[in-house]
Amino acid sequence: MALFHYQRRKSSVVRIGNILMGGKHPVRIQSMTNTSTMDTEGCIQQSVRIIRAGADLVRLTAQGVREAENLKNIEIGLHQAGYHTPLVADIHFNPKAAEVAAQMVEKVRINPGNFADPVKTFKTFEYTDEEYACELGKIRERFVPLLNICKAHRTAIRIGVNHGSLSDRIMSRYGDTPQGMVESCLEFLRICVAENFADVVISIKASNTFTMVQTVRLLVRKMEEEQMTFPLHLGVTEAGEGEDGRIKSAVGIGALLYEGIGDTIRVSLSEDPEQEIPVAKLLVEYVQRFADQNAEIALLSENTPAPPSSDETPWVISDQTQPANYLPSPTAQPDMFFTPHSEQFQIIDANSPELPDTSSRIILLRAKDNNPYLQKAAIYALRQAGVNNRIILWNTYTDADLSAFQIKAAADCGSFFLDRLADGLMLTNSNFSAETADKCSFDILQASKRRISKTEYISCPSCGRTLFNLQETIKKVKAATAHLTGLKIAIMGCIVNGPGEMADADYGYVGAGAGRISLYKGKSCVLKNIPEENAVVELIKLIEQFS
């Protein structure tokens, strides 16, 4: 992992249909359809929109054998229309569907949490070492036949671990931890290695950006210890929609891309899937702008000890160098204002960091091109020199597009707060008001799990398993709950990750069947199978009951 310069992680190369992934090949972009996989024409049309937007792969859900078999009809239709983008089958709970899909498309994604283990119950079980080894043997018995089919058909596999769907077995032994997520992945990877199956891609995702980043880093270290170099798929699952989904994704994915980690990405938005592609492309292209500047910015040894973490709540500083009428949100007011005459601040350029002239002044740390490698190196150098002043990142942007501004700022700044390196944030963009820039700062801090300033929503990106109109439901839930600052509400299309991802949420709204919703408080289902038309009202009643 490179701290102070861009250096791509060395990964093995996997062939997926007509593309290569990993090694020195481009970071591949992908999305997933949300149409029913039995709707052949609907899937073809949506896949075409995703491909035209720039996707290198398209994923479709395959709940059962029927859906897996119909993937071939979808692929034929795409080929007839002139599109040969590889298709990926998304499998949960059904190894037989995976075996069929592996004969139809170029790649199959399986989830270790529900591929061979029983359906999750959130119960804790005690295993002796012998009993645990026996369970691993059962995984092997179930998994090896799929590997053999993939070998015969030259089909790649993604081992896709989700925080929300860890098995009871893993949870019982490792708890709800990054170690458990990593071990869930390694159990399957070791079988792949033993069977000499190399066409494997890995993902290890969570809706919590801190958990996602820490877990991927741990997985990379563990794979290095076992001499594994499989390519990595990055994503923040259930990121949400709109600016929240974009900022949250950019914080988590951007932090890892800057470290050279990631061979393919998916930005999971609760929107039409083709909307995910421009965000993913912007993220990859933006981070890689430093790819040819290694020698110029390698300021410190990669073995330099990390500075002490900053445990205080990070500040938001408002740039008032161009004063205007200021109307900050009552729940997100900046902590200080910076003006041309502010004497409590000292501006330091990360390109040539200098010691502050007084121990009481607040450092505004900026860098040419908002270079996070330079800013990180400067923080390390300042802390090594014994500087304990509060350090505020000061990044300036010129994007006229608000979404681009938010994505870039979140990618640049996220890791500083995930890793507790900086003490605050000040953003400037001459095309937007100070209020807009400050809101972006607050949103980045919330996405980094460092400062809560509004209601947080965890919502899945929708797929063929979704059991209601996700986008309309999110609007209704937000309209009714946006004032509940600090509350976390999950809106999930189905049960695959719903109850698990809601372990981090206060309340959950989960599709339970056609026109039916189940409501959760934490991981506990409180109301089952209520009519969809009554669900939002019942959710509000549930929140009021426990408030």
Q: What is the pLDDT of residues 447-486, one digit of tens each?
A: 999 999 999 998 887 677 776 788 888 899 999 999 999 8
Percent share of the chain, pLDDT over 70:
93
DSSP letter (8 states) at residue 42: H
Alpha-carbon gap, residue 396 to 413, rounded angstroms? 12
Token pair belonging to 181: 């997520």
Q: Which residues on neighbouring strands pair with residue 394, listed in sequence order?
A: 426
Model confidence pLDDT, tens digit, residues 189-206: 999 999 999 999 999 999
Q: pLDDT tens for residues 329-387?
A: 666 799 999 998 889 999 999 988 888 888 889 999 999 999 999 999 999 999 988 99
Q: pLDDT, tens digit, for every residue of 134-170?
A: 999 999 999 999 999 999 999 999 999 998 889 999 9
At 194 the pLDDT is: 98
pLDDT in tens, 502-546: 667 899 998 888 888 999 998 888 999 999 999 999 999 999 998
- Condensed to tens digits (0 to 9), the pLDDT of residues 314-342 reads 999 999 987 666 676 666 799 999 998 88
- Answer whether residue 301 shows pLDDT above 80: no
How far is it, in rounded angstroms, from Cα 5 to Cα 535?
49
pTM, to two decimals = 0.94
Letter for the amino acid at 374?
Answer: L
The amino acid at 7 = Q
Strands of the sheet containing 391-397, edge to edge, are 336-338, 315-319, 424-429, 391-397, 362-366, 345-349
Provide the strand spans (E) within 179-262.
200-205, 232-234
pLDDT confidence of residue 298 = 44
Question: In terms of Cα–Cα distance, which of 34, 91, 47, 59 is closest to 471?
Answer: 34
Mean pLDDT (whole number) for 29-34: 96
Give CA–CA dist 2/8, Å, rounded.
8
Residue 297 has pLDDT above 50, yes or no: no
